[in-house]
Structure formats: structure tokens, C-alpha cells
Amino acid sequence: MPELPEVEVVTRSLKKTVKNRKIIKIIVNNRNLRFKLQKNFKQILKNKIVKDIKRKSKYIIFDFGNHFYTILHLGMSGTLHIPSKKKVTNLSFYNNPNMPKKHNHVIIFFDKINLVYNDPRRFGYFKVIKNKHDFDNYFTRIGPEALDKEFNLKYLKNKIKYRKKNIKNFLLDQKIVSGIGNIYANEILYKSQISPMRSVGKLSSTELYKIIKFSRTTLKEAIKFGGSSIKDFKSVSGGGGNFQTKFNVYNRENQRCTKSKCKGIIKKSYISNRSTFICNLCQI
């Protein structure tokens, strides 16, 4: 599933390609996404001009102006493509240089280019919102992003009161902090030198501060390197990513800890059915 950096990369690519373009028509091949696409989806968006492309947490927002929006969530496997003669179409986080032949559920035709939404698992969805109240209300279900100023020590202390949840599940709870997924939770806790199994209620202010600091620096670094699978968000071509080469623990089972003075080994376990990687010496 794409996390905040990957969605930010896709958003930047979209901003370079579809901003200020008019939707000429839409073809819907399959309405049965995570939430069934409304019957008049094609008619509602026809002739609309994309005034801006924004991101909120893991959501991509097509802003048509006058408080009219379409929200896109990529789900587990959703990707966006712009077909071209070069056949390098992927805007998303998976490296696929060819146009997929199956699961192209929605095709949006702009002047001169087409945007294709592909989703094998169909956990992604589109939602049309027509006023500011509904738009603002839609995002009350999620907490602040780790990059937001609201994600601070005071906020965390208030959220951990009387909680016994482990810190990893705490970071993955989108109602508490939005945008962090499994990969980055592993990396953040490694850099903070905190075991993912620690109870949040037992973390000190110093440890909470480390989590805030490394949440921000890790996400910013991931965006800088194009996410965990995208090489260059300045290009609409997609491609292989760079941030996975920066992983300290994720997918490094049985390898040495990357800290020069640590002789620990990265061990793999599972927390709530999610793969969890931890240095057996420096994460306590």
C-alpha cells in the first residue's frame, strides 16, 4: 500500500501533467471499486478543469475550483498511467514500464493526454465532493500528518494517556497520525532506537520527541528520493525507486545493524500480521 511519500510523488507528477487541463470524457470499465462508483460520475466531471492537484495524508485531491473536488485513494494496488508512444506510463510507486492490459477501471480523457486508473485488487476509490463543508468533514476521520505542526509533543502526550497500545500500531493508526504505513513505521522506530513492541503509555518525553523528529525526517527523505519505488517525481515516466536503498531495517532480516558501533542483527517478527523488523540490540 502506498504511504505518504509515494502519494506525494504521484501528486507532484499529476500536478505537472493534468493541472489546468479540461476533462473531455471519461470511460468507466468497472464501477465496482472499494466503494461503488456513482452512476453519474462521467457526467459530473465532464468539461471540468483541474485547477489544482493536492494531497491530504494518503489521498489525492483533484480540485476543480468553487469547492468542487474529487478524492482518489489508491488502496492497496491502485496505480495511475498516462499512455505514451514510449510505453513508459507509470505515475505511481510500482515500476511497470508498460501499459497494463487488465484492470484499467477508469480512463479520464484530457486534451492531448489520457489518465488511466488501474487497480487489480480494487481497494481504491473515487469520491466526488461538491462543497467545502463536506470536504472538511471528510478528513475529520484522520489525524494530523507527521509533517504537520499539530503533530507535536503536547498532541502525542494527550493521545497516549491511558493507552496500552504498542508504539508501532499507534503510529499506524490513521486516526492518530495519518500517512505513516508499515515501511516507514519500521524505519522511524529504528532511528528512534525504540522497540515497536513498547507500550506508548511507558514512553518518555525524550522518546516521544525522537519519534516526532524521525517521523518528519524519514518522510521528507523518502519524498526526496521519490518514495520507496519511484525514481524521479519530476518525470511522469515512473520507474524504479531509490528510497528502498536507504532502508535501515525494512526487508533486511538477518543482516547487520547499519549503526557503526552496533553489532546487532535485524530480526523479523509480526505485529498485527504486519512484518516488523528490529535490531536485536539497539532498539529497546
3 is catalytic: yes
Q: Give the H or E element holding residue 61.
A: strand 59-63
Per-residue pLDDT of the chain (284 residues; tens, 9 = 90+): 788 988 998 899 899 999 999 999 999 999 999 999 999 999 999 999 999 999 999 999 999 999 999 999 999 889 898 887 765 566 765 556 677 789 999 999 999 899 999 999 999 999 999 999 999 999 999 999 999 999 999 999 999 998 999 999 999 999 999 999 999 999 999 999 999 999 999 999 999 999 999 999 999 998 887 776 544 333 344 444 566 778 999 999 999 999 999 999 999 999 999 999 999 999 98
Q: Report how far apart the first and last C-alpha atoms of the chain are (Å, whole number).
A: 28
Cα(175)–Cα(156) distance, integer angstroms: 12
Give the dihedral sign, CA 215/217/223/227: negative
Give the dihedral sign, CA 181/250/153/217: negative
Cα(149)–Cα(152) distance, integer angstroms: 6
42 is catalytic: no
* Other CB atoms within 10 Å distance of the CB of residue 21: 17
Cα(115)–Cα(29) distance, integer angstroms: 14
pLDDT at 152: 98
- Model-level pTM? 0.89
Catalytic site residue from 12, 55, 56, 58: 58
Task: Give the three-class secondary structure for 52.
Answer: strand
Q: What are phi and psi of 61, to 5 degrees?
A: -120, 120
58 is catalytic: yes
Catalytic site residue from 2, 12, 55, 187: 2
pLDDT at 162: 87
Task: Give the three-class secondary structure for 53.
Answer: strand
Are 198 and 167 in contact by the 8 Å Cβ rule? The answer is yes
Are 21 and 48 in contact by the 8 Å Cβ rule? The answer is no
39 is catalytic: no
Structural domains for the chain:
4-141 (3.20.190.10), 153-279 (1.10.8.50)
Cell numbers standing for residue 280: 536485536
pLDDT at 235: 34
